[in-house]
Amino acid sequence: MNCALEILQSRFGYHKFRQHQSAIIAAVLEGRDVLALMPTGGGKSLCYQIPALIRDGAGVIISPLIALMHDQVAAMRLLGIRAAYLNSTLDFATVRETEAALLEGELDLLYIAPERLANERTLDLLDRSKIALFAIDEAHCVSHWGHDFRPEYKRLSFLHERYGAVPRIALTATADGPTRREIISELALENADQFIASFDRPNICYTIAQGAGGREALWKFLAREHEEDAGIVYCLSRKKVEDIARWLTNKGRTALPYHAGLHKDERQHNMERFLRGEGVIIVATIAFGMGIDKPDVRFVAHLNLPKSIEAYYQETGRAGRDGLPANAWMSYGLQEVIMFRQWLRGSEAGETHKRVQHGKLEALLGFCELTTCRRQALLAYFGEELPAPCGNCDNCINPPETYDGTIEAQKALSTVYRTGQMFGVQYLIDVLGGKADERILRNGHDALSTFGIGADVKPVEWRGIFRQLIAQGFLTSDTQGHGSLKLTEKSRPVLRGKQQVQLRKRRKPAPAKARRRPRTAITLSQADQPLWDTLRTLRLDLAREQNVPPYVIFHDSTLKELVSAKPATLDEMAEISGIGNTKLKKYGQVFLDAVTGSPDQP
């Protein structure tokens, strides 16, 4: 283990291990199988990289992220680690070269796409090579429950049968029980040591804005907090992805679309610009994001409801891997909730599946409408307890007011009932507001006892009330997709005055004074700004020259430390987190010159 710490410090330039890293490494070094559940950004990669360097032979990493392998390998090489990959993008000559290097014992790490393991050539290669360990990255891909199911993962139990003596380490950031059990049984990990880290991501601030106007709200959020930052915007449909990307571009941001309908080359190109540029926004369907290890994604915004709390957690988790402050922001409205319910009720899935989906949807809507700490609820969903409210979510920072909305709920529900449970929200609001338009007159609904009884409440408020009634399960929408609302079992006691309904007030924008200051991740004094800019430009130039993303050279956190510590010598520089021996040798002098303002620097 001393050896492991030495490698952490000299190769990676980090001072100490994080939670579970050293225990996991120790287990693998002893030849045991491991299942490691850690959040995104938790530091999973070191858990196989370091034992692969210490044990004899190469560490073989099975990863579904073909598009990212090149950068992963480049990052390892910059640390002086002998890494290579095998996937379908390589030409035959390179494949042969890589195979030869493996056979000669000249590789520390080999990344392989899972489908490749099915072919005889690869098996024959592995049979003849010295293998230090197998790392099964994104191990949740083996699970049907998860969102990233990959059939090739089902075959991976053969590793155990064929190479019983080689330790295996399965890693994932998906922690829920069913997925975990499926990973264990599918990969035959019954005897593996299990390590489960806390899934809290304290640097991510969670905000969920209800009823706010979609893209305008997004724009305000970006203008307020992320004028220059890189981030991801998630939308449900391809069309919306394209629209939002275009809209943001017209507003002066670099925003690129990403969805399964784009040509493969364009997708790859957009992803690369996101990874390699600075301040690029990617607008994407959920097809984007797994395994993206860009550490400086400063925000993840949802313009639609995610599929489940797990999905929300995974998607938002792509923000702030570097540990610096980041935002998870979402906006959704009434229409969203109605559509979601319809989609669920109309779906073709079998009964069991539907029940599971239904439970997940309830949980998600409950989470969105929550008036207490979001982080506590999020962690509780994964079975973790956070003793005190977090202080870093919208409900903690700006607590919503709730009120007894029983009367309003009764008015709304009763209007649904009296109009025959055949109408959508807009119509119901018109009846409540006493709007005697042609349709209402034709239906004779101006004669209803509820006609006009809601005129004291603004239509926009009524929308909020209906949204909450649907979210809380007092109303449901029809399956035919007309959006008409119906009562549920739950609504009866409310109508009979036997049950109270608690509603949240619409959040008024906080007065300008009380508004939080933008929490940009990098706070610098005015005096340090020029040096920061110089170092960033230097990093970008080097990254371009070497065809790698800038963060592969140094993370923002490393640059920030360089700016504040202003090392005067290479020895002082070596103390900074993220600068190991190889990088010190390679980049130390140029960055030192930039910091000390040596005259031959531009």
Interaction partner, residue 393 (Zn ion, ligand ADP, none; CB < 5-8 Å by kind): Zn ion
Pick from 297, 311, 365, 396: which binds Zn ion (CB under 5 A)?
A: 396
Amino acid at 368: C
Single out the segment in contact with ligand ADP by CB under 6 A; choices: 37-45, 202-210, 481-489, 502-510: 37-45
By the rule CB under 5 A, 318 interacts with Zn ion: no
Pick from 7, 29, 41, 332: which binds ligand ADP (CB under 6 A)?
A: 41
Question: What does the alpha-carbon distance between residue 82 and residue 339 come to, in Å, rounded to a whole number?
Answer: 51
For helices 334-346 and 459-471, what crossing angle results, to 10°? Answer: 30
Pair of tokens at residue 5: 């710490």
Interaction partner, residue 390 (ligand ADP, Zn ion, none; CB < 5-8 Å by kind): Zn ion
Q: Are 301 and 253 in contact (CB under 8 A)?
A: no
By the rule CB under 6 A, 38 interacts with ligand ADP: yes
By the rule CB under 6 A, 63 interacts with ligand ADP: no
By the rule CB under 5 A, 375 interacts with Zn ion: yes
Label the pairing between strands 502-504 and 402-404.
Answer: antiparallel
By the rule CB under 6 A, 17 interacts with ligand ADP: yes
Taking the least distance from each CB to Zn ion, the nearer of 361 and 378 is 378
Q: Which residues contact 583 (CB under 8 A, 6 or more apart)?
A: 13, 78, 79, 553, 554
Single out the segment in contact with ligand ADP by CB under 6 A; choices: 14-22, 105-113, 158-166, 179-187: 14-22
Taking the least distance from each CB to ligand ADP, the nearer of 379 and 440 is 379
Taking the least distance from each CB to Zn ion, the nearer of 407 and 510 is 510
The number of residues making up the chain comes to: 602
Q: Are 26 and 174 in contact (CB under 8 A)?
A: no
By the rule CB under 6 A, 257 interacts with ligand ADP: no
Pick from 201, 259, 321, 341: which binds ligand ADP (CB under 6 A)?
A: 321
Is 92 exposed, middle or buried (CB count within 10 Å of its CB: 0-12, 13-18, 19+)?
exposed
Interaction partner, residue 295 (ligand ADP, Zn ion, none; CB < 5-8 Å by kind): ligand ADP
By the rule CB under 6 A, 87 interacts with ligand ADP: no
By the rule CB under 6 A, 111 interacts with ligand ADP: no
Question: What does the alpha-carbon distance between residue 554 and residue 38 come to, in Å, rounded to a whole number?
Answer: 23
Amino acid at 491: S
By the rule CB under 6 A, 567 interacts with ligand ADP: no
Angle at the Cα of 244 (from 238 to 250), degrees rounded to 5? 140
Interaction partner, residue 312 (Zn ion, ligand ADP, none; CB < 5-8 Å by kind): none
Contacts with Zn ion by CB under 5 A: the residue count is 6
Question: What does the alpha-carbon distance between residue 321 and residue 16 come to, in Å, rounded to a whole number?
Answer: 17
Interaction partner, residue 373 (ligand ADP, Zn ion, none; CB < 5-8 Å by kind): Zn ion
Interaction partner, residue 304 (ligand ADP, Zn ion, none; CB < 5-8 Å by kind): none
At 502 the three-state DSSP class reads: strand
Taking the least distance from each CB to ligand ADP, the nearer of 374 and 555 is 555
| Residue/partner pairs of 275-280 with CB below 8 Å, 24 or more apart | 275/71, 275/549, 276/543, 276/544, 276/548, 276/549, 276/550, 277/230, 278/228, 278/230, 278/536, 278/540, 278/550, 279/228, 279/229, 279/230, 279/254, 280/230, 280/254, 280/255, 280/256
Q: Are 151 and 114 in contact (CB under 8 A)?
A: no
Pick from 46, 189, 241, 284: which binds ligand ADP (CB under 6 A)?
A: 46
Interaction partner, residue 45 (Zn ion, ligand ADP, none; CB < 5-8 Å by kind): ligand ADP
Pick from 11, 14, 320, 573: which binds ligand ADP (CB under 6 A)?
A: 14
Single out the segment in contact with Zn ion by CB under 5 A; choices: 82-90, 260-268, 386-394, 523-531: 386-394
In the complex, least distance from residue 524 CB atom to ligand ADP, rounded to whole angstroms: 21
By the rule CB under 6 A, 293 interacts with ligand ADP: yes
Pick from 393, 465, 494, 579: which binds Zn ion (CB under 5 A)?
A: 393
Single out the segment in contact with Zn ion by CB under 5 A; choices: 20-28, 109-117, 394-402, 558-566: 394-402
What residues from 116 to 135 belong to the interface with ligand ADP (CB under 6 A)? none
Distances (CA, A) of 447 to 47, 259, 436, 453: 71, 50, 10, 12
Single out the segment in contact with ligand ADP by CB under 6 A; choices: 11-19, 108-116, 482-490, 579-587: 11-19
Question: What does the alpha-carbon distance between residue 313 and residue 320 come to, in Å, rounded to a whole number?
Answer: 13
By the rule CB under 6 A, 44 interacts with ligand ADP: yes
Pair of tokens at residue 433: 């507001």
- How far, rounded to the nearest angstrom, does the alpha carbon of residue 488 sit from its chain's CA centroid? 34
Residues of the shown chain interacting with Zn ion in the complex, contacts defined by CB under 5 A: 373, 375, 389-390, 393, 396
Residues of the shown chain interacting with ligand ADP in the complex, contacts defined by CB under 6 A: 14, 17-18, 21, 38, 40-46, 293, 295, 321-322
